[in-house]
């Protein structure tokens, strides 16, 4: 066994819900569960006889024996998160008195809100890994969404503590939200240990629910940046936009995130029996440009009275500081992967607009090119190859073409370097982003 894959479903979701990224990939993986991969169903999911709701079965059993029939040493208590002190590694708080009184301790609502069963999913994975890797060495790839994405990071911490440093772990975390305030107070939800070699975090920009704060750069603590390659990639949309295509008019985010997840897992060694479409760098640029052109439509997904009931409506930190997540103008680029793909697909255009390498000795704010000039030809090629990226470029910066059809065409363009940003991309970010290109 060289690579083992763990898929962690989000709250209220499980392996049976097709159309959702994590469940779909669980069905698409090659091999046999417990030998080649493991799926942990989300807390609060309805459960089945074969795969009961997490927290209701003994996590140390392969056949998921009900806790009532298990030895007393394996019965884990109900646990909630309201009384956890920041930085705490373990917890057994009393917490949520009103909630405990109003909801069943083994019910879906209680589990979805408190996270009951969360620790049991991690215990179950630890037990499986100990069986699969008797020498306690190997590669573990993980993918998760929502609380399942945070589960990936918690698992990495527990693996290091209980199984030792012999594992290389790669994590693809889709909008990692711990729930309540666990993400700020429970250490293993935000601490990235050095057994994590590659970490990609997908962050939804437009979810405004106060109780849905993600593990972003304002929260994560990386043990060793020289060992862990880590990239946080913001995307338009709300919490479920990256994993569920809910609107045929807004397919781009779901499509690109699915492509990135598949590429990440395959590059890191996971094997699929059913394969995803392969996107070129130009394909990615087209989809990213369409996201930006539809930016206002994606933003509308985060509003509404129902959302305001979940901790109030407020912009996420990542949205307020989105420029800190991309090393060029965030009015044009969605994230670092978009920037890297654009630079590879259209290097001359990228250099002109987004670097300071093109001379402008007179410091002109605008310049003109004849249709026969090199820069005019590159812009014409972009227009023909990738109309969405050209339209986005023209909407953000001055790019105009006049004349033609019998008269000489002239391009009027803003001066070079207008979209350049002074802060370079850290090497540990570039390394993992280029894995995805």
Residues 170-195: pLDDT tens digits?
Answer: 999 999 999 767 777 788 999 999 99
State the pLDDT at residue 303. Answer: 79
Residue by residue, pLDDT tens for the chain (437 residues) are: 689 999 999 988 888 888 999 999 999 999 999 999 999 998 877 777 777 777 777 788 787 878 765 445 444 443 433 334 445 444 333 333 433 443 444 555 444 455 567 888 999 999 999 999 999 999 999 999 999 999 999 999 999 999 999 999 999 999 999 976 777 778 899 999 999 999 999 999 999 998 889 999 999 999 999 999 999 999 999 999 999 998 999 999 999 999 999 999 999 999 999 999 999 999 999 999 999 999 999 999 987 645 555 556 789 999 999 999 999 999 999 999 999 999 999 999 999 999 999 999 888 899 999 999 999 999 999 999 999 999 999 999 999 999 876 677 899 999 999 999 988 898 999 999 999 99
State the pLDDT at residue 412. Answer: 95
State the pLDDT at residue 114. Answer: 52
| CA–CA dist 140, 387 (Å, integer) | 40
State the pLDDT at residue 75. Answer: 43
pTM of the model: 0.89
Instruction: State the chain's mean pLDDT as an integer.
Output: 87
State the pLDDT at residue 107. Answer: 52
State the pLDDT at residue 115. Answer: 59
3-state secondary structure the chain: CCEEEEEECCCCCCCCCCCCHHHHHHHHECCCECCCEEEECCCCCCCCCCCCCCCCECCCCCCCCEHHHCCHHHCCCCCCCCCCCCCECCCCCCCCHHHHHHCCCCCHHHHHHHCCCHHHHHHHHHHHHHHHCCCCCEEEEEEEECHHHHHHHHHHHHHHHHHCCCEEEEEEEECCECCCCHHHHEHHHCEECCCEEEEEEEEECCCCECCCCECCCCCCEECCCCCCEEEEEEECCCCCCCCCCCCCCCCHHHHHHHHHHHHHHHHCCCCECCCCCCCCHHHHHHHHHHHHHCHHHHHHCCCCHHHHCCCCECCCHHHHCHHHHCCECCCCCCCHHHHHHHHHHCHHHHHHHHCCCCCCCCCCCEEEEECCCHHHHHHHHHHHHCHHHHHHHHHHCCEEEEEECCEEEEEEEECCCCCECCCCCCHHHHHHHHHCC
Residue ranges of domains in the chain, CATH in brackets = 3-70+114-324 (3.40.50), 357-419 (no CATH)
Residue owning tokens 């965030």: 330
State the pLDDT at residue 171. Answer: 99
State the pLDDT at residue 310. Answer: 52
- pLDDT tens, position by position, 304-351: 645 555 556 789 999 999 999 999 999 999 999 999 999 999 999 999
State the pLDDT at residue 210. Answer: 84
State the pLDDT at residue 126. Answer: 94
| CA–CA dist 295, 301 (Å, integer) | 11
């Amino acid at each position: 066994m060289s690579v083992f894959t763990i898929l962690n479903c989000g709250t209220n979701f499980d392996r049976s819900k097709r159309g959702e990224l994590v469940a779909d990939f669980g069905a698409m993986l090659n091999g046999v569960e417990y030998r080649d991969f493991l799926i942990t169903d989300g807390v609060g999911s309805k459960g089945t006889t074969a795969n009961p709701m997490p927290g209701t079965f003994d996590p140390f059993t392969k056949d998921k024996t009900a806790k009532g029939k298990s030895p007393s040493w394996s019965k884990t208590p109900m646990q909630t998160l309201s009384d956890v002190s920041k930085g705490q590694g373990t917890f057994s708080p009393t917490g949520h008195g009103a909630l405990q009184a109003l909801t069943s301790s083994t019910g879906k609502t209680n589990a979805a809100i408190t996270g009951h069963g969360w620790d049991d999913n991690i215990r179950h994975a630890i037990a499986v890994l100990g069986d699969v890797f008797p020498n306690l060495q190997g590669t573990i790839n993980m993918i998760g969404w929502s609380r399942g994405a945070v589960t990936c990071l918690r698992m990495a911490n527990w693996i290091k503590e209980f199984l030792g440093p012999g594992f290389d772990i790669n994590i693809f975390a889709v909008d990692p939200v711990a729930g309540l305030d666990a993400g700020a107070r429970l250490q293993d939800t935000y601490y990235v240990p050095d057994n994590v070699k590659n970490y990609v975090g997908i962050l939804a920009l437009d979810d405004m629910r106060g109780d849905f704060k993600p593990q972003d750069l304002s929260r994560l603590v990386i043990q060793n940046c020289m060992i862990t390659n880590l990239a946080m990639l913001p995307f338009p949309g709300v919490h479920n936009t990256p994993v569920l295509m809910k609107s045929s008019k807004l397919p781009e985010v779901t499509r690109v995130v699915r492509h990135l997840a598949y590429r990440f897992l395959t590059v890191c060694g996971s094997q699929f029996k059913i394969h995803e479409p392969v996107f070129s760098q130009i394909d990615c640029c087209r989809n990213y440009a369409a996201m930006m052109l539809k930016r206002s439509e994606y933003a509308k997904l985060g509003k509404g009275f129902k959302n305001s009931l979940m901790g109030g409506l407020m912009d996420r930190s990542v949205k307020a500081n989105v420029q800190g997540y991309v090393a060029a103008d965030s009015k044009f680029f969605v994230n670092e992967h978009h920037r890297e793909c654009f630079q590879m697909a259209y290097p001359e255009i990228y250099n002109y607009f987004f670097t300071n390498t093109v001379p402008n000795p007179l410091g002109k704010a605008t310049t003109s090119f004849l249709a026969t000039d090199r820069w005019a030809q590159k812009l014409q090629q972009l227009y023909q190859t990738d109309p969405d990226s050209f339209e986005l470029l023209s909407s953000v910066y001055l790019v105009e073409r006049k004349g033609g059809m019998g008269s000489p065409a002239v391009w009027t363009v803003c001066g070079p370097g207008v979209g350049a940003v002074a802060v370079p991309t850290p090497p540990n970010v570039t390394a993992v982003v280029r894995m995805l290109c």
